Amino acid sequence: MKYELYYWPTIQGRGEFVRLALEEGGLAYRDVARESGKGNGVAALLRLLRDRSVKRPPFAPPFLKAGELLIGQTANILYFLGPRIKLAPQTTAARLWTHQLQLTVADFVAEIHDTHHPVDVDSYYEEQKKEARRYSAHFLKSRAPKFLNYFEKILARGGRADYLVGAQLTYVDLSLFQLVAGLKYAFPRAMAQAARKYRRVFALHARVQERPRLAAYLASPRRIPFSDEGIFRHYSELDLPRSRLKKA
């Protein structure tokens, strides 16, 4: 069975958390909305969203087709995929814990998205710049540190374990890698500071991106570049003001 991912073809977005797992899992998969040809592309994605004969329709992309199953919600997809691609722990309790961490990643992602779309998700950033500045200032001061500190604490509590759930890489490590990669792109000044404080989180990011399969993926055209259309966007005016950058 070949897994079929459905996600918007021009952004990393939430779909990227699934792509990273499929790539590190070493599976052949289809990224259907990025394929050309009859029956593929965004039309295929929209068809599954709208088709009245779909018994369990997802609310929004990403979703994954695995044989007869159609699975939506990023964290749910990863919970399903994890054991099948050897990126989940063995016990039920540890799998619940991995999922719990993934849901906390999802909460963080939602707040990151809102830095540029705090009041109207369907309008342009340019139409909510003032609100975005206020939101982002609070995000960088209070919210991002709360999440980063949490993951730092988990890594510290694991003792000498290299990864969030223990000695073995799981899908939530890939998601934490993506969070750090995206935050570095979006808020380079704030993250230059954060790197000195959340050393374990940033070390995990570095460790993950050197894994052979991940490194090959990141260097390939399959990795869509960050841009000002995704979740992580770089608007210099939302980053930490230069005047507040402290010397190391």
Where do contacts with a second copy occur on this chain (CB under 8 A)? Answer: 52, 55-59, 69, 71-73, 75-76, 79-80, 93, 96-97, 99-100, 103-104, 107, 110, 114, 118-123, 131, 134-135, 138, 142-143, 147, 150, 153-154, 157
Contact, 51 vs 39, CB < 8 A? Answer: no
Least separation, in Å, of the C-beta of 76 and a second copy? 5
Contact, 197 vs 188, CB < 8 A? Answer: no
Least separation, in Å, of the C-beta of 92 and a second copy? 9
| Closer residue to a second copy (CB): 144 or 224 | 144
| Closer residue to a second copy (CB): 123 or 236 | 123
Least separation, in Å, of the C-beta of 151 and a second copy? 9
Task: Name the residue among 132, 245, 139 with its Cα closest to residue 192.
Answer: 245
Q: CA distances (Å), 158 to each of 21, 165, 200, in order?
A: 22, 8, 11
| Closer residue to a second copy (CB): 58 or 230 | 58
Contact, 20 vs 176, CB < 8 A? Answer: no
| Closer residue to a second copy (CB): 120 or 210 | 120
Contact, 175 vs 98, CB < 8 A? Answer: no
| Closer residue to a second copy (CB): 78 or 169 | 78
Other Cβ atoms less than 10 A from the Cβ of 161: the count is 14
β-pairing verdict for 3-6 and 63-66:
antiparallel
Least separation, in Å, of the C-beta of 108 and a second copy? 9
Task: Name the residue among 117, 116, 106, 111 with its Cα closest to residue 235.
Answer: 116
Tokens matching residue 68? 């007869």
| Closer residue to a second copy (CB): 59 or 237 | 59
Tokens matching residue 1? 């069975």
* Whole-angstrom distance, CA of residue 25 vs CA of residue 214: 10
Least separation, in Å, of the C-beta of 218 and a second copy? 28
Least separation, in Å, of the C-beta of 37 and a second copy? 29
